[in-house]
Amino acid sequence: MADGGRLTALYRSRDGAFGEIASGAELRQALADPDGLLWIDLIINSAEDARVLTDVFSFHPLTIEDCVSPHLDPAKIDDHGEYIFIVVQALAGYVPDEELEAFEVDFYLGSNYVVSCHQQPATAIEHFRERVRRDEGLLSHGADWLLHGLLDALVDEYLPIVDAVDDTIDQIEEKVLHRPETRLLEQVMMVKRNALRLRRATTPQRDIMNRLSRGEYPKLIREETAIYYRDVYDHLVRIEYLVEALRDLADGALQTYLSVVSNRLNQVMKVLTVAVVPLTVGTLISGIYGMNLTAGFWPPSDSEWGFGAVVAFMVVVAVLTLVYFRYRRWI
């Protein structure tokens, strides 16, 4: 039944005995104990991995389909009378130059059991399982409290990622002010995309925690436990505010990048203008001097002093142009 370690089942009986079970008969026996508590964590990569959901629990086929499907479902909660089915999204981790990867975690909450299903290892769930193994008393507070602990562990992983994205924005802004390279624009756009992914993950889950905390499921969630779900809801509200701030900071970093690039372009254009205008004036004078003119004040090209006079005139005009630019504070 464990299928290569994909299934982990922790059980605390009514008399306080704690241990791990694996066989189908043991799972059914634990499930038949109304005063015990059974927690099954299941990694699903195929329909065969999900057989326990059908053979032992007889869950609705649509919920099992959500657990098996490789598609990432949005967060939701469904009431099936004897149990509720919850879909949330967890984050695999954060790498500054990569897009955040979210994966689905499904929960079944019954009167004396919690089943968690996911298609890849979840660090938060693994850490919580180790806590339970060290302190088996964590399974003595009921299934609703156990579900709260698992959801709270998943939500707690959001805040370090939000802080890491915030640090990434600070680093990008510092680099932009020193040297606005093109790759920084790609990083800014990646930050904006990650902020949007965080928002899409947290907003639906906030609504789920709100429903769990306001007594909508009194058969499965006790009134004294609902306050704990309210605490998780408050965490998600705070994270949502921080995510909105991240989006504003990312927009600010983008505007900073565009402003710095525009300012550098203006500086380049100013240098080119200062360099080109005196040369253009000299080119104009030399072009006119090169014309076949012999009358008037313009010195003829065959005179001994004409070339030197024209060159001196071009130098004087160039210097006067630079002086004028300096007077107008253009350079």
Q: What is the pLDDT of residues 1-43, one digit of tens each?
A: 344 348 888 888 888 788 888 777 888 888 888 888 899 999 9
What pLDDT sits at residue 2? Answer: 40
Q: What percent of the chain has pLDDT over 70?
A: 92
Q: What is the pLDDT of residues 250-260, one digit of tens each?
A: 887 787 777 77
Phi, psi (degrees; rounded to nearest 5) at 103: -135, 160
CATH superfamily of the domain spanning 7-261: CorA soluble domain-like (3.30.460.20)
| Cα gap 150→125, rounded to integer Å | 6
| Cα gap 107→2, rounded to integer Å | 18
Domain boundaries, the chain: 7-261, 267-327
Tokens of residue 39, six digits: 């927690």
Angle between helices 223-289 and 306-327 (to 10 degrees): 160
Q: What is 267-327's CATH topology? A: Methane Monooxygenase Hydroxylase; Chain G, domain 1 (1.20.58)
Cross-strand partners of 87: 76, 106
Residue ranges of alpha helices (H) inside the chain are 24-31, 51-55, 61-68, 123-134, 143-156, 158-178, 182-213, 223-289, 306-327
Residue 7 · residue 22 · CB < 8 Å: yes
* DSSP element (H, E) containing 115: strand 113-118
Q: What is the mean pLDDT of residues 178-195?
A: 80
> Does residue 99 surpass a pLDDT of 90?
no
| Cα gap 310→286, rounded to integer Å | 8
Task: Tell me the pTM.
Answer: 0.76
